[in-house]
Amino acid sequence: MDFSKIQHTFTVVPSLTEELAALQRIAYNLWWCWEIDAINLFRRLDSDLWKSTRHNPVEMLGILQQTMLDGLINDEGFMAHLKKVDEKLTEYLEAKTWFQNAFNGNSRMKVAYFSMEFGLHESLPIYSGGLGILAGDHLKSASDLGLPLVGVGLLYRQGYFRQYLNNEGWQQEYYPENDFYNLPLTLERDENGKPLLFEMDFGPRRFKVHTWRVQVGRVPLYLLDTNLEENSPEDRLITAQLYFGDKEMRMVQEILLGVGGIRALRALGIIPSISHMNEGHAAFMALERIRLLMEKRGVRFNEASEIVRAGSVFTTHTPVEAGIDHFPPELVDKYFSRYYKSFGISHDEFMGLGRQNPGNLQESFCMAVLALKLAGHANGVSQLHGEVSRKMWRNAWPELPLEQVPLTSITNGVHTPTWMSNHMASLLVRYLGTRWMDDPTNHSVWHRISKIPDTELWRTQQSCREKLVDFARKRLKEQLIKVGATFKEIATAEEVLDPEVLTIGFARRFAAYKRGTLLLRDLDRLAAILNNPTMPVQFIFAGKAHPQDQDGKELIRQIVQASHQERFRHRIVFIEDYDIEVARHLVQGVDVWLNTPLRPMEASGTSGMKVAFNGGLNLSVLDGWWCEGYQGNNGWAIGKGEVYEDIEYQNQVEGRALYDLLEKEVIPHFYERGSDDIPRSWIATMKASMQSLCPVFSTDRMVQEYTNHSYVPSYIQWKRLVADDLALALDLGKWKERVFKAWPKVRIIRTEANTSDAVAVGSVVPVSASIDLGDIAVDDVSVEGYFGVLDSTGTIVGGETVALKMTSDLGNGIFEFGGALECRFCGRHGFMLRVTPHHKIMGNIYEPGYLVWG
């Protein structure tokens, strides 16, 4: 019999009586994964099954015997618990939110958040690391705050790889299949009940797509799936795995995410006013919005792109260009030659959208550049990363001073209820009430942590450390059994680590720049630190290397090999298969979180933030978020932010600094106890850490910043452009065409600053200029002075601008302008003049090539 030709398929679902229907409702809304009462409800059903299903309530309900489910109706305690959780979910979904209170007038705004990966929970493995976890936390806080937001991503049949280690400590990968029908997913259907289907006819590929929904509190996340029988085997692989395959597969995945994502939303009747690209992977989304606008409203490419740019937000997470997707021109042509012809622009103009220098035909097509050019708001993910990103992409705005490159920063955060331990949350409710949950960015609420008795905070920390040690022992035992270890080795696993000892965690993606082995540079010195009889220390490591990253795998092997040495066997543990569950145990149970990236390679980092919410302390290089978080009394900084050209020398310096900090500060601080065995000064540092970091580094603060600084301003701008049948967009397009055509004739004839060589601080220096505007009206330009302190190379640093006003019309398109500079700082100053196009409504318009400096 040929089993490949199955004629009928159907889905078997749990049969839940009316009394138990709420179980299904709760299981299919991932709100449960940050609500402890809901988690305990599912654990109560069968704690072993809860663990073996990776905490997946949908799969668990499918496995439980019908008789067991029917029997629950007579369990009064369980039914009361179910009723309580069901009421909580209803109350959550119906409560008045921050967004409703703050932006009642903007209720028609609709934000679509596009990301290649979403890390919501370990039971839904469609994430690889930090980018996905951040995206998941973004959706959760958007739900808590009531933002009108939907998520868009891909539904991977195998997700990212699972990791196990062989006897030598070498990483091995395997890819278990995700069974979509046993995950908290709902297949979207049309009005006839058939799966909602749309077709992608793109370049040489033609395939069909299903859309699944994950409900994340109030926020729906739509995930696209090409693993359909009607698709060819190669097209079914498009959504097989996250970050696999060659450049062509990556491009097709990104076309599906961006172009397919917009088409899926339209099929669902959702037309976003704002689209947020979480990394450059989603940048094709802006092109599809432009195409649809041109098709529907009969406008030209430049007019449609003005509207789409106003309604697009871009977040970059990468501090090095090597981490950004670049595609060769021939691959772009293969997929987009027919597509861009509908834009009415040339091949070179289209390719120029993805190049920093559009005229450089050798430059590849860069997704981040495309996103930057088609986004009205762009940001990095920490203040330092904002600076790094402006330097990285300054060639896309060659005429602008570095500090005026239009790329700001919104520092990442973490979703507090997801990452804070139940022990810590209970303690905070006892002494702070619930305001820290309702108003998590309120500093005054968190300052009340000082009122928590030291003994109670310490007891909470100890119980979380004990839980971590217990978890690590169980996981290590499972790892050893899997690789066929001896009975003696397995027995030893039950004795590793000590719940009373200072515990330091290090867990992240194993890439060379994260320097996972910095701690191992002097093994003898490390052994002396870890095995100090009066002040012992232990380390727990976890993390994955990309399957193709042999250097990253070698770092893991070195740590595992070290942990096998007799002197480290009880003091260093590597937990394999790092995922959300492992991360949760680690960040909730460690005393100290170690972070050793090569500055400024860490765009932000969020694991250290999660630790702070649980009372753990950070020991980190001053990179990413820690530059903003570190205050001297709330953790430790390795070095002072120095960057050396010689990386080996940098490793040497910071490796020694790390050992010194451990020996002289961190470890004595932990073991300095009074007669009651309570480390009072350590607890003071814990409190300082929580008071300073918790109100700032949450995704509630982050999403509020996105709303205030990106979403709402973008929506206002978008609304202005589309109002009155696109009147302003059409006017802006025609205005740009006229002004840009005449721009080459603009020149600065004369500039004067009426001053002597030495000027007293506080003086006002008059400046004037004569400018030939040719055929451009004086109201269509802005004339500005740019001045500030000069550095050693004669470059203005951190300059400021002052507007000059037209003082007289000299005829023949020549005008006099005048103004004044206020000298507020001492030092050698420089002054320059510039002319930019200025629209009467939209203000100054900067586009590369249309700015004249004098």
pLDDT, tens digit, for every residue of 154-195? 999 998 999 999 988 999 999 999 999 999 999 999 999 999
Collapsed DSSP state (helix, strand, coil) of residue 365: strand
Instruction: Give yes or no for a cis peptide into 600 (omega within 30° of 0).
Output: yes
State the CB neighbour count (10 A cutoff) for residue 663.
16
Question: Is 60 exceeded by the pLDDT of residue 10?
Answer: no
Question: From CA 286, how far away is CA 261, in angstroms rounded?
Answer: 11
724-734: string of b/e by CB count within 10 Å (b at 16+)? eebebbbbbbe
From residue 63, alpha-carbon distances to 31, 50, 70 in Å are 22, 11, 14
Q: pLDDT of 613-669, one tens digit each?
A: 999 999 999 999 999 999 999 999 999 888 888 889 999 999 999 999 999 999 999
The pLDDT-based confidence of 69 (bands split at 50, 70, 90) is confident
pLDDT of residue 13: 62
Q: pLDDT of 757-791, one tens digit each?
A: 777 777 788 888 999 999 999 999 999 988 888 88
Q: pLDDT of 403-430, one tens digit each?
A: 889 999 999 999 999 999 999 999 999 9
Supply 626's token pair.
């820690």
Q: What backbone torsions phi and psi does residue 621 show, to the nearest 5 degrees?
A: -60, 145
Contact 137, 511 (CB under 8 A): no
Average pLDDT over every residue of 491-504:
93
Question: Is 90 exceeded by the pLDDT of residue 483?
Answer: no
Q: Tell me the HSE value of 5 on the side-chain side, using a 13 A CA sphere.
A: 2
From residue 511, alpha-carbon distances to 543, 552, 610 in Å are 10, 5, 21
Question: From CA 193, how far away is CA 190, in angstroms rounded?
Answer: 5
Chain centroid to CA 737: 37
Q: pLDDT of 354-397, one tens digit each?
A: 999 998 888 999 999 999 999 999 999 999 999 999 999 999 89
pLDDT of residue 539: 97
Question: From CA 407, how far away is CA 356, in angstroms rounded?
Answer: 14
Tokens 């420089």 sit at which residue?
830
State the CB neighbour count (10 A cutoff) for residue 482.
12
Which amino acid is residue 354, in one-letter code? G
Question: Is 80 exceeded by the pLDDT of residue 598?
Answer: yes
Q: Which of 644, 645, 625 is nearest to 635 (CA)?
A: 625
pLDDT of residue 15: 67
pLDDT of residue 2: 53
* Mean per-residue pLDDT over the chain, rounded: 93
The helices-and-strands tally (H runs, E runs) of the chain is 33, 28
